[in-house]
A and B are shown apart, each in its own frame.
Chain A
């Protein structure tokens, strides 16, 4: 057993072959796929590690045959899950990667998208487990007539959510207050980092998942969340990587964060960086985004926009990104608050992790909690 699990799983101690027989009989093939994808292993790699043929792993995942009971602890060790993880009987959310919007599809591999989709499945499982105990906010996304333009959709949403004119404060808290799950993926999850951000409502309650790369800058992060919100509202049938859907989500995000009618009178008539920086600090959008807005609204010419971008790139090393951690209303907290309330009424993290057949560390990861323990590096 790896260090991750020492002392955490005691339901089936070593040598509990009778229990392994039970799990082998109730083996859930989809759980093996889930664990393998999360471990970023191909079937062949897993087969190699547990000394069976790749075809055998394929058969386990297809449900043609179940692994022998004595193979279960080996599988569990390789995939860093408890043996009980493979047992059927727990709610299982299945999400095809084709049913999620991926922010940077062109730069992501199918393997990374599959891992991202699996991560979303686990967020759903955690949400489901918490919802059995805790009532989460009702999902409130307005119904849009077919063919609604992205900018109009943004106006409709601001109205439906009662956002007062001006900057949209505490975007993520506002999104969560309207029943949408937002999570950050821990930094160690490199495969999903490449995915950048994604959202889906294919599992019932809509959710969006943002990666650390997007969360490094508060402004970029807010735009990304607004972009994903645009997908959830505008694109019930995701076409992953579709340029038009991506453009529409960008248009929605720009109008949601900086409504044309409100930002236009405030934009300087020429590219003045100091004025733009002030606006950026008030409205919570990047200077790049404001320059783009100036171009869209034809406040300045295309040539001025291009030059402004060049100037910004030249100044990049002098600018510092503001991480989201210091912005209370932008750090996802709905699931943590729900867990906190459940804990007040007797649930422990150990119980919840055990119910989900996860380690408590994994539970923390899915809850987007930062691991505060120092990292040990061995230098040879």
Chain B
């Protein structure tokens, strides 16, 4: 079983894989919508795209409708975040800079961010298990999900666990996206437990071009492989064929 899928099931239970599939899709959709809005505004200032954080929080609210999930308002936050089987999920646009260092970026910038780590008084409605199969799960994953959910149902309060979806993006592009479970360091930065890149292929590391003298006009243009059609093929097409 793939590490990312296993972690998602162990963290969120049965809907884990569904959440894992949907998170990057929602982030991409929100990035596109925000970039379109910025384009349409014609503003030099990038403030329109800057509202990305609000849009992605709204999109994540749909996770609150999953069985065993709810929406909570951390502290006095002007927004809600989903708590799925006792685990809170928060999208965090930590940078507009492709090369920003996630490890040293301060997460706690408001009382609401601190409150996300203490959801001990949130009561979760237990899921009515109808035994319905989840099409996205393999038999092995389904079995694991059942074990995880049995353990979860013993404690019908939140685990206090927070999963952060860390996003680096700007109007130019979606630079980075990863998720994982976090704890808070004393300096307000995050300490990551499991962490998974949700961007697909990783960018190559910078390297020096071996032939510095090569230019876009160097060498001969590539030859084009053309030739006469085989007579058999051409015969049926046109009597005037060459």
Give residues in A with beta carbon < 8 Å to B: 131-138, 147-149, 151-152, 155, 164-171, 173-174, 176-177, 222, 243-244, 247, 251, 259-262, 264-266, 281-284, 295-298, 302, 306, 327-329, 333-334, 337-338, 341-342, 345-347, 351, 355
- Say yes or no: A169 contacts B242, CB within 8 Å: no
Contact among A169, A171, A174, A259 with B218 in the assembled complex (CB-CB below 8 Å): A169
Q: A282-B216, A284-B215, A345-B242 are in contact. Are A298 and B226 (CB under 8 A)?
A: no
Task: Return B199 CB to nearest CB of chain A, in Å.
Answer: 7
- Cα A103 to Cα B160 in complex, Å, equals 50
Contact among B35, B46, B209 with A262 in the assembled complex (CB-CB below 8 Å): B209
Residue in B closest to A151 when the chains form the complex, CB atoms: B203
Chain B, residues 43-74, CB within 8 Å of chain A (1/0): the string is: 01010000000000000000000000000000
- Say yes or no: B215 contacts A167, CB within 8 Å: yes
- Say yes or no: A327 contacts B217, CB within 8 Å: yes
Task: Return B234 CB to nearest CB of chain A, in Å.
Answer: 6
- Cα A244 to Cα B222 in complex, Å, equals 33
Dominant secondary structure at the A interface = helix
Query: Quick check: is B201 within 8 A (CB to CB) of the other chain?
Result: yes
- Say yes or no: A261 contacts B217, CB within 8 Å: no
Q: Give me 21 A-to-B residue pairs in the complex whose CB atoms sit less than 8 angstroms apart, sorted by A's number.
A: A133-B234, A133-B241, A134-B228, A137-B224, A149-B199, A155-B204, A166-B210, A169-B215, A169-B218, A169-B219, A173-B224, A174-B221, A243-B35, A247-B173, A260-B206, A261-B206, A262-B209, A266-B209, A328-B221, A329-B221, A355-B238
- Cα A134 to Cα B229 in complex, Å, equals 5
Residue in A closest to B28 when the chains form the complex, CB atoms: A147
Task: Name the 6 nearest CB pairs between A and B, nearest first.
Answer: A284-B216, A173-B221, A329-B221, A261-B204, A170-B221, A166-B214
- Say yes or no: A341 contacts B226, CB within 8 Å: yes
Most buried by A among B206, B219, B230, B234: B206
Task: Return B27 CB to nearest CB of chain A, in Å.
Answer: 12
**Interfacial residues of chain B within 181-212, with CB under 8 A of chain A in the complex:** 199-201, 203-211
Residue in A closest to B29 when the chains form the complex, CB atoms: A244
Q: Which residues of A contact B32 (CB under 8 A)?
A: 244
Chain B, residues 226-242, CB within 8 Å of chain A (1/0): the string is: 11111000100110111
Query: Quick check: is B154 within 8 A (CB to CB) of the other chain?
Result: no
Query: Quick check: is B111 within 8 A (CB to CB) of the other chain?
Result: no
Chain B, residues 20-35, CB within 8 Å of chain A (1/0): the string is: 0000000000001001
Q: Which residues of B contact A222 (CB under 8 A)?
A: 216
- Say yes or no: A298 contacts B98, CB within 8 Å: yes
- Say yes or no: B172 contacts A169, CB within 8 Å: no
- Say yes or no: B207 contacts A262, CB within 8 Å: yes
Q: Which residues of A contact B204 (CB under 8 A)?
A: 155, 259-261
- Cα A148 to Cα B201 in complex, Å, equals 8
Residue in A closest to B230 when the chains form the complex, CB atoms: A135
Query: Quick check: is B101 within 8 A (CB to CB) of the other chain?
Result: no
- Cα A168 to Cα B211 in complex, Å, equals 12
Query: Quick check: is B140 within 8 A (CB to CB) of the other chain?
Result: no
Task: Return A306 CB to nearest CB of chain B, in Å.
Answer: 8
- Say yes or no: B35 contacts A346, CB within 8 Å: no
Task: Return B40 CB to nearest CB of chain A, in Å.
Answer: 8
Residue in B closest to A168 when the chains form the complex, CB atoms: B216
Query: Quick check: is B110 within 8 A (CB to CB) of the other chain?
Result: no
- Say yes or no: B172 contacts A165, CB within 8 Å: no
Q: A176-B224, A297-B98 are in contact. Are A167 and B218 (CB under 8 A)?
A: yes
